[in-house]
Amino acid sequence: MMTSRNSVIGLVALVALLAMALVVGCGDTTTTTAPAETTTTAGETTTTVAEMDDTVYELSLAHLWPATHAFEVDVVQPMAQEISDATNGKVVITSFPGQTLLKGPEVYQGVVDGVADMGVSVYAYNAGRFPVVEAFLLPGISWATAKSSGAALTEGLETLAPAEIDDAKLLMSFATGPGELLMKVPIRKLEDLNGVELGATAGPRGDGLKLLGATPVVLPMPEVYEAQSRGVIKGVVGPYEAMTGFKLADVTDYITDTPFLYVNYFFVTMNKDSWDALPAPYQEAVATVSKKYYDEVVLGLFDRLNQEALDAAMAAKTIEIIELDEAEQTRWKDKMAPIFTDYQKVLDDKGLDGAAIIQMVRDLSDKYNAMYPAQ
């Protein structure tokens, strides 16, 4: 009897322990381990998550370029794959290129609202929303390369930490580098601009064109081809890359070199709730891979694309390139000088230190143009 009773007691205790384990297990299904390091075939060491939980975080990414564009092919797809690999397939990014999820001007707000988890587009499409970024867009400051302009904005935003980018998780900013007048008619001197309808993808750039005597038409780059082919505009201020990226070589017969008139900036940003939902090791993986692609691919991407586009356009058709001498460039810059005083007041009225911000832009231009000069 004693043996039997002890067996029953033991069995009851065992069942109780199993029940307790079951209750605890149902209350927390997450198993966390430290990230593990793995070595790729290229010999690079990357951080992966050995085990986190069973949740797969599916993230949508909206951007303006077509699926064949280098940003999709050389950045989005391999970066998404590397993030997936680093998280054991638990973070999956699905790209929606070519404005199929959100139009270019809608991307930033669409990410903030959660229409897309991630987005890539042009800061300047949302005029007035990014006052500090727009200080870097002011015409009259020369930029040597995509690397110099992109690195300058990145340092500026890191230093100033403006509130304008706080409503999303900014992963990177990058640039087209200097732009040109891509024209159907020749522009050889300041007077040639009088009354000419010119496309501009940013308000400050449009203001600069107006001071030069042109008639600015502010519109997104994907709309330029139709406007220029129909004669609504006679040309656009843009980078060489647009001749292939947006097929503008078809409607361009003259190029006037104006590195002081144009630069454009892009963001790669993420919805805050989507970011906060990721476990910390996954956030680290996304941040680490993003930084790697920024340094190795994205920062200088448009330097490569600009040269490739120019070479392809010149091989396909006859395009005259017009260089402005130093005296002529000075005439243009003098005409646009009031834009700095005007924009300083815009910044001051927003409670920002306009003089300091504009001086920072000038200083960073000098710093990074020297570091990343035109080849």
Tens digit of each residue's pLDDT (9 = 90 or more) over 182-191: 999 999 999 9
* pLDDT 10s digits, 336-361: 999 999 999 999 999 999 999 999 99
> Containing domain of residue 221, as a range?
180-263+309-371
* pLDDT 10s digits, 42-66: 445 444 454 557 899 999 999 999 9
Give yes or no for residue 137 having a pLDDT over 60. Answer: yes
| Nearest by Cα to 63 from 131, 117, 134 | 117
**Domain co-membership, 120 together with 253:** no
Is 366 inside any structural domain?
A: yes
- The reported pLDDT for the residue numbered 266 is 97
Give yes or no for residue 370 having a pLDDT over 50. Answer: yes
Is 158 inside any structural domain?
A: yes
**Domain co-membership, 121 together with 231:** no
HSE-up (13 A, CA, CB side) for residue 361: 22
* pLDDT 10s digits, 300-346: 999 999 999 999 999 999 999 999 999 999 999 999 999 999 999 99
Mean pLDDT of 190-214: 91
**How large is the angle between the packed helices 203-211 and 338-349, nearest 10 degrees?**
150
**Domain co-membership, 163 together with 206:** no
Is 26 inside any structural domain?
A: no
Domain total for the chain? 2
pTM of the predicted model, to two decimals? Answer: 0.82
Question: d(Cα 51, Cα 229) in Å, to the nearest integer?
Answer: 55
| Nearest by Cα to 235 from 261, 260, 211 | 261
Question: Which whole-number Å values give the CA distances from 371 to 10, 176, 265, 302, 340, in the listed order?
Answer: 76, 17, 19, 17, 25
Confidence of residue 243 (pLDDT cuts 50, 70, 90): very high
% of the chain exceeding 70 in pLDDT:
86
Is 214 inside any structural domain?
A: yes
**Domain co-membership, 58 together with 146:** yes
**Domain co-membership, 171 together with 276:** yes
Is 227 inside any structural domain?
A: yes
**Domain co-membership, 252 together with 294:** no
CB atoms inside a 10 Å sphere around CB 223 = 16
Identify the CATH number of the domain in which residue 156 sits. Answer: 3.40.190.170
- The reported pLDDT for the residue numbered 52 is 58
* pLDDT 10s digits, 98-119: 999 999 999 999 999 999 999 9
- The reported pLDDT for the residue numbered 202 is 73
Type of residue at 262: Y
